């Protein structure tokens, strides 16, 4: 799964890298410990390619309340086309969730060792987004990150990893007129990410700062 990640790049950098035409009016502070229900950046396509701020943890449009959002931070690649919570968003509301890298916890002895997984360029994690109307009549926009089987070189850390969308597939993935870009739902490619152990401070959502991604 992907339960924590780092997102420290400026919106200007994201606009440039993801070839965004419509920047976000809301600016988020850099974070090296993005956690469920936090506000996050997402790239989506409507008439233009947009950078938007969403809340991490999907709330389907038909939900009675938003209480289950923290449990909907990830969607399994194997079931997104058919699972009721995700299939409508998969058909028309796909997005990219930018990240510097993400964290996974590897069981070691009686505890777990956190690892940080990253690459030089921003990660384009495959996501879905939804709009939900609150009982008060306000709109809440949320997202989830799609996970897939981890490639062999990362599977020893965790058996799941975010689905990463390569640059040459962004247009198809984001296109709301393409109902099923199933060819993109493949397992991770070995050798793309580097991984190293980091301090256990990342386990506390109140801790933040670039020191969380430094190797120990």
**Which residue range forms the structural domain that includes residue 116?**
4-213
Tell me how far apart the terminal alpha carbons of the chain are, to the nearest angstrom: 23
Secondary structure of 114-159 as H, E, C letters:
EEEEEEEEEEEEEEEEEEEECCCCCEEEEEEEEEEECCHHHHCCCC
Pairing mode of beta strands 49-56, 94-108:
unpaired
Higher-pLDDT residue of 74, 187: 74
13-57: per-residue pLDDT in tens?
Answer: 999 999 999 999 999 999 999 999 999 999 999 999 999 999 999
Catalytic residue among 95, 104, 130, 143: 104
- In the predicted model, what is the mean pLDDT of residues 93-100? 98
126-181: per-residue pLDDT in tens?
Answer: 999 999 998 888 999 999 999 998 876 777 888 888 999 999 999 999 999 999 89
Residue 2 annotated among the catalytic residues of the structure: yes
- 189 contacts: CB under 8 Å, gap ≥ 6: 151, 164
Whether the pLDDT of residue 107 is over 80: the answer is yes
- Asked whether the beta carbons of 142 and 70 are under 8 A apart, the reply is no
Residue percentage of the chain with pLDDT more than 90? 75
Record the pTM: 0.94
Q: Rounded distance, CA 203 to CA 46, Å?
A: 36
Residue 104 annotated among the catalytic residues of the structure: yes
The total number of structural domains in the chain stands at 1
Q: Rounded distance, CA 154 to CA 159, Å?
A: 8
CATH of the domain at 14: 3.90.1680.10
* pLDDT score, position 154: 74
Residue 175: φ, ψ to 5°: -70, 115
């Amino acid at each position: 799964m992907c339960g924590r990640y780092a997102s420290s790049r400026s919106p200007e950098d994201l606009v440039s890298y993801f070839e965004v035409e419509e920047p976000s009016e809301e600016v988020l502070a850099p974070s090296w410990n993005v956690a469920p229900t936090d506000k996050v950046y997402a790239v989506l396509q409507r008439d233009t390619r947009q950078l938007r701020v969403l809340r991490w943890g999907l709330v389907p449009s038909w939900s009675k309340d938003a209480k289950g959002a923290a449990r909907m931070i990830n969607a399994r690649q194997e079931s997104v086309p058919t699972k009721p919570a995700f299939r409508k968003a998969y058909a028309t509301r796909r997005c990219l969730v930018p990240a510097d890298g993400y964290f996974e916890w590897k069981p070691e002895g009686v505890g777990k060792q956190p690892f940080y997984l990253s690459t030089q360029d921003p990660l384009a994690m495959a996501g879905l987004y939804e709009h939900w109307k609150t009982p008060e009549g306000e709109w809440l926009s949320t997202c989830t990150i799609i996970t897939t089987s981890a490639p062999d070189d990362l599977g020893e850390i965790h058996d799941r990893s975010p689905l990463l969308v390569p640059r040459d597939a962004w247009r198809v993935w984001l296109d709301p007129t393409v109902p099923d870009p199933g060819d993109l739902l493949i397992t991770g490619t070995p050798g793309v990410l580097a991984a190293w152990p980091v301090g256990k401070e990342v386990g506390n959502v109140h801790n933040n700062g670039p020191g969380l991604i430094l190797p120990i």
